[in-house]
Structure 1
Amino acid sequence: MTSTVRRAGGFAVVGTLALAAPSLGAAAFAPFAAVALLAAFVVDDGPLFELFARPGDRQDGRLNGLAGFALAATGLALLATVPRVTMPLSVFAAAVLILAYGNLGARLVGSRTSDESLRAAGFVAAAVLAGTAGQVVIASLTGDAALLARFVLLAAVGGLVGAVLRTALYERDDPLVMLSIGLVLWGVEVLAGPVSPTQTGVALALTVALGYAAYALGTASVAGMITGVLLLLFAVVFGGFGWALVLVSFFGVGALATKFRYDSKAERGVAEDNDGARGTGNVLGNSGVSLVAVVGYAAAQTLGYPLASDLLVLAFAGSAAAAMSDTLSSEIGGLFDQPRLITSLKPVPAGTDGAVTWQGEVAGALGAALVAGVSVLVLPLPAQTAAIAVLAGGLVGMTVDSLLGATVEGAGLGNQAVNFLATLAGALGAVVVWIPL
């Protein structure tokens, strides 16, 4: 067994202290606070130090990694036990166990292979098992209902959040990862409605299958695949399968458009980097607004604001239409000659930011129409006329993307920021157009 696996196992043992929370009550933070103090000020040599020490810890002569891990768990324990703060104990335990055992799963797989996708799968698999088991144990100790379907769904969300953050952050950032998992799960617990075993099973099977297909076809990197799966799962949890289907239409058609005649686009200098495999930044740039909209919809439903719910459905569909329209306009339009700069209509070389072709504009309009049609069929839109608003939102977003590309992209904004602003414009455009309708 390698030292990294042993160290991850030691952290998992420490994380298991979270299961004592129901017995300790308001003192649930105490075991982790004690570990943090020992790691920071007492244990500086010997077998325990060697077990838990990361490379930087040996230089400092202090177990900074273990201290940070334990302090993050202490903070979550306080949120779960301080009066008038409502984080469930099960969420606290799940967050700690998801990170601790997820890291162990990734290390176990990593000791046998260097494949990044398999290590990520090891993290998620171990995180889901540990997070689910932890919630079941807490429920049995507190006498709460053992809602297995909900526990599995929460553990899956936490595992995917952790896996995404693990691809972007360092090992020393474990405290940030744990706190992020805990806060996300707390939000899901508050806003998500009832979940049946069938919904959980179908949601997990659908998202995992689509994520694997995206990675296998080379349309997403490992991080991009995990991010896309997480967004689809959020859409199911906060909205329903219809919301996920709208995102699937964009992810699927957009990915195919990216791969369409990729070699020709590469020769012209207009192809996506990394052989068209989109990463986390690209996925969030195109779908971040949709995520905010579906979470806002769940909050509006919980608080009982029907008008806000209607507007957020439109914003969600409008942002997805903008993402689809922009993707198709650039991926299809880039195959044709004589592009023109949108601000002056003067001919420019292929690949120039802000350049458009009439073929790309037509493709973008068809993409927006596709999302509008799917949205009418599967989303709780306020009226049939909302399809016009969604289509308009898609066209607005596509146009804003080109305008930003011609004016500020590269100088002040990157491509991902431009995509985010374009989808935001699509969301707002759909809402503004619908109001007079």
Structure 2
Amino acid sequence: MTEPVRRAGVFALLCTLSLAVPLFGPRVAAALAAVVLLGAFAVTDGPIFDLLAYPGDYEDGRLYGLITFVLAGVALGLLATESSMPTAVFVGTVFLIGYGNVVEQLARTRTERDVVHATVFCLVATAAAAAGQAASLGLSGVPIEPAVPQILFLAASGALLAALLRDVLLLYDDPVVMLSVGFLLWLLAELDPALGTLEIAVALTVTVALGYVSYALETASIAGMLTGVLLGLLTIVLGGYGWFVVLISFFAIGGLSTKFRYDQKEDLGVAEDNNGARGTGNVLGNAAVGLVAVLGYAASSATLFPVEPALFLFAFAGSVATAMSDTLSSEIGSVFETPRLITTLEPVEPGTDGGVTWQGEVAGFVGAGIVAVISYGLFPEVGLAGAVIIVAAGFIGMTVDSLLGATLEGSLLGNQGVNFLATLSGALVCALLVLSLAMFS
């Protein structure tokens, strides 16, 4: 057994101590945490230090990796005992990180394929999170069977977020991952989605299958795949399959448009990196606003947020229409003629931020139209006027993207920041236009 596997195994055993909260109460759990922390400070060398130390700990002669890991668990434990965070969320999160890491380290001894590492982590972390939640509920005397759908949803969501963060951060950042997962699952638990076990399982199957297809077709990197699966799962569970169809239309058509005349784009120097495979930054830059709209819709539907749920639906559609419009405009328009800077209409080199072509503008308009047509067909509340508003919002958002690219990109904003602000503008325009239409009708 290798050193990383042994260390991960000990950390997983320490994670099991989180069951002390539902089993013995917060005082005993706090005493156990204090003992572990004191031991971590006291051990500065020897075989125990070698067993628990990360490579960076040797320079300082302290088990800072273990200390920060335990402190992250203590922080979540305090939230579970002193606030509204469910104890099951706390235990499930800690189990997820600890046991998922063990199996991932084992997988690393057998293969160097990153996709296998991520897959193994997600599977075991989901099972561990579900087991931790179930054990916590059982020890607290809460019936487990009615909570199975939520247990499965939270476990899978937490595992996907953890795998994603571990892919983009360092292994030593597990405390950050633990806190991030804990806060997400706390939020999702408060939203309390009303789906059954079968619906959750189907949602997982659909999103995982489509995520793998995107990775296999090289339209998404591993991080991009994990991000897309997580976004898809949250969209289905919190919004519905109609919302998911709108979102996946962007990922599918946008991903394929990246491959459009890819060799020509490479020659022009405007092709996406990594063979067109989109990573986390690109996915979140285009879909983060949509995710917030889904969360807002779920919160308003659960009466946690005093806003009409339909406004969030239009904000979602406006953000996706912007992302689709901008992507098609860039990927298709970049191979035609000499682009012109949107602010001055002067000819510029291909790939210049803020450069547009008339073919790209037409493609962008069509992209927004696709989202509008899908939304019109799936959501009765959209209607013809709503579809027109979605097209307008998408086109305006695309234009904002070009204006930001010509003025702020490279100096104050990166590409993902521009994408985020553009989709935000599309979402706000769409919601405000719908609100104005309702006020004057």
The amino acid across from 2:405 in the alignment is: G
Q: 2: CA distance between counterparts of 1:98 and 1:384?
A: 46
Structure 1 range deviating more: 353-362 or 252-261: 353-362
2:124 maps to 126
Which residue number corresponds to residue 227 of structure 1?
Answer: 227
1:38 corresponds to: 39
Give the AA of the match of 1:92: F
Secondary structure of 1:385's aligned partner: helix
Could you report, residue by residue, the CA deviation over 1:303-341 in whole angstroms, capped at 9, with x for unpaired residues? Answer: 266753121111111000000000000101011113222
Which AA in structure 1 matches 2:250?
F
* Structure 2 letter corresponding to 1:77: G
- Residue 260 of structure 1 and its aligned partner are, at CA, apart by 1.5
Distance 1:34 1:317 in 2: 52
CA distance in 1 between counterparts of 2:192 and 2:182 reads 15
The equivalent residue for 1:106 is 104
Alpha-carbon separation, structure 2, partners of 1:275 and 1:39: 46
Q: Secondary structure at the match of 1:436?
A: helix
Return closer, same or farther for 1:71/1:379 CA change in 2, 3 Å cut-off. Answer: farther
Instruction: Work out whether 1:54 is the aligned partner of 2:39.
Output: no
For residue 86 of structure 1, the aligned residue among 84, 87, 95 is: 84
Name the SS of the counterpart of 2:345 in structure 1.
coil
* CA deviation map 1:61-100 (0-9, x unaligned): 2211111111111111111112xx1111110001101111
4+ residue runs of structure 1 moved beyond 6 angstroms? none
CA RMSD for the aligned pairs?
1.5
Counterparts of 1:9-408 in structure 2, within 5 Å, are: 9-27=9-27, 28-40=29-41, 42-82=42-82, 85-146=83-144, 147-303=147-303, 307-379=307-379, 381=381, 383-408=383-408
Contact 1:318 1:393 in 2 (8 A): yes
* 3-state SS of paired residue (1:372): helix
Q: 1:48 to 1:381 in 2, by over 3 A?
A: farther
- C-alpha separation between the residues in 1 aligned to 2:204 and 2:431? 31
Q: 1: CA distance between counterparts of 2:21 and 2:135?
A: 11
User: Partner amino acid for 1:224?
Assistant: G
AA matched with 1:230: L
Is the Cα–Cα contact under 8 Å of residues 4 and 107 in structure 1 kept in the other structure?
Answer: yes
Q: Distance in 2 between matches of 1:58 and 1:307?
A: 53
Q: Secondary structure at the match of 2:56?
A: helix
* Cα distance in structure 2, aligned partners of 1:65 and 1:44: 13
Q: Using the TM superposition, give the Cα deviation of residue 405 of structure 1 relative to its aligned residue in structure 2, in angstroms.
A: 1.2
Alpha-carbon shift at residue 384 of structure 1 (Å): 4.1
| Per-residue Cα deviation, 1:216-245 (whole angstroms, up to 9, x for no partner) | 111111111111111111112221222111
The answer to whether the Cα contact below 8 Å between 1:238 and 1:294 also exists between their aligned partners in 2 is yes
CA contact (8 A) 2:265 2:335 kept: yes
Q: Aligned equivalents of 1:7 and 1:409: distance in 2? A: 44
Q: Answer yes or no: is the 8 Å Cα contact 1:389–1:431 preserved in 2.
A: no
Q: Give the Cα separation in 2 of the matches to 1:246 and 1:133.
A: 34
Give the partner amino acid of 2:25.
G
- Call closer, same or farther: CA 1:23–1:165 in 2, change over 3 Å: same
Pairwise CA distance, 1:141: 1.4
Equivalent residue letter for 1:301: S
2:375 and 2:382 in contact (8 A); partners too: no
Structure-1 residue corresponding to 2:420: 420
Q: Equivalents in 2 of 1:333, 1:98: separation in Å?
A: 45
Deviation larger for 183-192 or 335-344: 335-344
Q: Secondary structure at the match of 1:112?
A: coil
Deviation at 1:378, TM superposition (A): 2.8
Instruction: Tell me the secondary structure at the aligned position of residue 406 of structure 1.
Output: helix
Q: For the Cα contact (< 8 Å) 1:392–1:433, is it kept in 2?
A: no
Whole-angstrom distance in 1 between the partners of 2:112 and 2:379: 42
Which shows bigger deviation, 281-290 or 161-170? Answer: 161-170
Aligned partners of 2:139 and 2:436: how far apart in 1?
55
Matches of 1:430 and 1:210 in 2, distance apart?
Answer: 28
What amino acid sits opposite 2:158 in the alignment? G
| Per-residue deviation, residues 272-309 of structure 1 (Å, max 9, x unmatched) | 11111111111110011101111111111122667531
- Give the TM-score taking structure 1 as reference length: 0.96
Residue pair 1:33, 1:71 contacting (<8 A) in 2 also: no
CA contact 1:313–1:380 (8 Å) conserved in 2: no
Counterpart-to-counterpart distance in 2, 1:381 and 1:356: 34
> What is the identity, as a one-letter code, of the residue corresponding to 2:131?
A
Q: Is the 8 A contact 2:333 2:358 kept in 1?
A: yes
Q: Is the 8 A contact 2:318 2:429 kept in 1?
A: yes
Tell me the distance in 2 between the aligned counterparts of 1:273 and 1:246: 26
Q: State the number of aligned residues.
A: 434
Alpha-carbon offset, residue 356 of structure 1:
1.1
1:379 positional shift: 4.0
Q: How high is the sequence identity, in percent, across the aligned residues?
A: 53
Contact 1:289 1:316 in 2 (8 A): yes
Matching residue's letter, 1:352: T
Quick one: distance in 1 between partners of 2:314 and 2:400?
Answer: 18
Any idea what the Cα deviations from partners look like across 1:184-207, whole Å, max 9, x if unmatched? 000000013222012111111011
Which secondary structure state, in structure 2, belongs to the residue aligned with residue 181 of structure 1?
A: helix
Give me the TM-score of the superposition, normalised by structure 2: 0.95
Partner Cα distance (1:134, 1:300) in 2:
30
Residue 105 of structure 1 aligns to which amino acid in structure 2?
A: V
Distance, in Å, in 2 between the alignment partners of 1:283 and 1:369 is 21
Whether the 8 Å contact between 2:122 and 2:156 is mirrored in structure 1 is: yes
- Conserved 8 A contact 1:328-1:360: yes
State the AA in 2 paired with 1:308: E
Residues 150 and 192 in structure 2, CA contact (< 8 A), matched pair in contact too: no
Tell me how far apart the structure 2 counterparts of residues 379 and 189 of structure 1 sit (CA, whole Å): 26
Structure 1 alignment gaps of length 5 or more: none
User: Which is further off, 343-352 or 150-159?
Assistant: 343-352
The gaps in structure 2 that reach 5 residues or longer are none
